[in-house]
Amino acid sequence: MAIFGRLLDRRTKDHIQKSVTQALGTKRSGRSGILDTLLRYIIIALLFISLIILAVLIIDIAIDGFDVLSSRLGSFLSGTLRSRSVDEGIGIQQGLVGSFWIAVFVAVFAFPIGIAAAIYLEEYAPKNRLTKFIELNIRNLAGVPSVVYGLLGLFIFVKGFDVFLLRNFKSLVGGSSLAAAGLTLSILVLPIVIITAQEALKTIPSIIKEGAYGVGATKWQVIRGQVLPYAAPGILTGTLLSMSRAIGEAAPLILLGAVTGRLGLKAGLFDFYQLQERFTAMPIIITNWTQKQGRDIGFGENAAAAIVVLLFFVLLINATAILLRNYFEKKRA
């Protein structure tokens, strides 16, 4: 009787599933099915159009900067903005150093704070109106224009806004300095890091947590041993992509006083004293050279070469994100 009852239940479930599938197929037939198919083809067509436009832009920029990269790649990467013209060996060394340290600041400040905030909101914070209000504001902050964050950094780090606990930031970071730029862009990407980490934590099946709790693990042991390893691919992908955005931002750096012309300082990559000195970054150099290409010969080609280098830098970060995601997915499996 027990075996018969199981077979009956299985047949009943199969019959119900078949009926539901047929009903859904009937609903999707006719006009609704045509609209779904049409919408799918429209999305695919728009995707291909976007990829074609992107490919044309990249090819055009690569062609413009090919002469510079092929003839003097070494001097272009090691040259500085001290030169008055392209004939004197102008280069992007200082911009590469600035972009590198901005990425370091984002990794040191935005990543730990953002991931910790996401863990607190998902695992510890009570599900009430206050938590929902905080999460809503974090999502709103992710959509704020970058120039607003530039104004925030200008008032706090450069001007030294005279408020308790904020008035010493100017003397700490040195005003219009590389440290101020790194901290400002860390604040800019912090909401994105929190949101992406939260979404990664939400994908964890509840059965994993329940199994860990069932064997007597504490909450922190569950988070450290089960939650974080399972969510690591999504967290790493989101955080490194947010770093790519920080490296490509120009508007906040202009407000913070990034150097757009000659910069005599030439420092090594790991010379820490430059964190409180005047700075520039790759987006600033590209913007400045693009503005000069109509007046001075050669700056257009150098700007295109700088774009190729920055694009390679961003693609390298994205490739790192993909490799880390695949590594942790294999380790999780």
Distance CA 173, CA 160 (A): 10
Check residue 270 and give its pLDDT. Answer: 67
Distance CA 220, CA 245 (A): 32
Helix (H) or strand (E) holding 66: helix 31-78
Q: Is the predicted pLDDT of residue 252 greater than 80, yes or no?
A: yes
Place of tokens 């510079």: 68
Which of 80-84, 162-166, 217-221 shows the highest mean pLDDT? 217-221
Q: Which residues have C-beta within 8 Å of that of residue 172, sequence separation ≥ 6?
A: 179
Instruction: Give helix then strand counts, H and E, for the chain.
Output: 14, 0
17-30 pLDDT, tens digit each? 555 455 445 444 55
Q: Which residues have C-beta within 8 Å of that of residue 199, sequence separation ≥ 6?
A: 234, 238
User: Exposed, middle or buried: residue 136 (CB in 10 Å: 0-12, 13-18, 19+)?
Assistant: exposed
Q: Mean pLDDT across the chain, nearest whole number? A: 80
Check residue 165 and give its pLDDT. Answer: 57
**Residue range 221-237: average pLDDT?**
86
What percent of the chain has pLDDT above 90?
A: 22
117 band by pLDDT with thresholds 50, 70 and 90: very high
Q: Which residues have C-beta within 8 Å of that of residue 67, sequence separation ≥ 6?
A: 301
Closest CA to 247 of 36, 22, 27, 97: 97
Instruction: Judge contact between 284 and 250, C-beta under 8 A.
Output: yes
**Residue range 128-150: average pLDDT?**
91
Question: What domains appear along the chain, each with residue ranges and CATH number?
Answer: 77-332 (1.10.3720.10)
Burial 126-135 (b: 16+ CB within 10 A, else e): eeeeeeeeeb
Instruction: Judge contact between 166 and 180, C-beta under 8 A.
Output: no
Instruction: Judge contact between 250 and 285, C-beta under 8 A.
Output: no
Q: Is the predicted pLDDT of residue 7 greater than 50, yes or no?
A: no
User: How many Cα neighbours within 13 Å face the side chain of 63?
Assistant: 6
Distance CA 275, CA 331 (A): 38
| pTM, two decimal places | 0.79
Q: Is the predicted pLDDT of residue 15 greater than 90, yes or no?
A: no
**Residue range 133-154: average pLDDT?**
91
Check residue 133 and give its pLDDT. Answer: 93
Q: Which residues have C-beta within 8 Å of that of residue 32, sequence separation ≥ 6?
A: none
Q: Is the predicted pLDDT of residue 49 greater than 80, yes or no?
A: yes
